[in-house]
Amino acid sequence: LAVEAAGDVEVEIAVAHLESPARAATLAEKLALRLEDGLAGREVAVGEIGAVLGAHVGPGMVAVCVARRGPHSPPDEA
């Protein structure tokens, strides 16, 4: 679904997890390979979610956020 959502434009990708850093890292690596052109040199961000969301989803959760870059996207930080 993340690859489909990215389409053929530049994107930024983030993988969020709860107590699943290895699963999140593996998913981030796979997405980086599949979406290499769309990432245009940017890394896939990986981070752990906080307690508020964690209370609703529980440990083991992994999620992906796809942000398509366009004319109104913020500039890359140096």
Predicted TM-score (pTM) of the model is 0.82
> pLDDT tens digits for 33-56?
999 898 999 999 999 999 899 899
Task: Flag whether pLDDT at 76 surpasses 70.
Answer: no
Among the residues of the chain, which ranges form H helices? 2-6, 21-34, 36-39, 51-57
Report the percent of the chain where pLDDT is more than 90. Answer: 62
Residue 76 forms part of a structural domain? no
CB 40 within 8 A of CB 10: yes
Residue 38: give the domain boundaries.
Answer: 2-68
* pLDDT in the model for residue 38: 87
Number of domains, the chain? 1
Mean pLDDT of all residues in 16-24:
97
Task: Flag whether pLDDT at 72 surpasses 80.
Answer: no
Helix (H) or strand (E) holding 49: none
Task: Flag whether pLDDT at 17 surpasses 90.
Answer: yes
**CATH, residue 46:** 3.30.1180.10
> What is the Cα gyration radius of the chain?
13
C-alpha 70/C-alpha 9 separation (Å) is 8
C-alpha 65/C-alpha 14 separation (Å) is 5
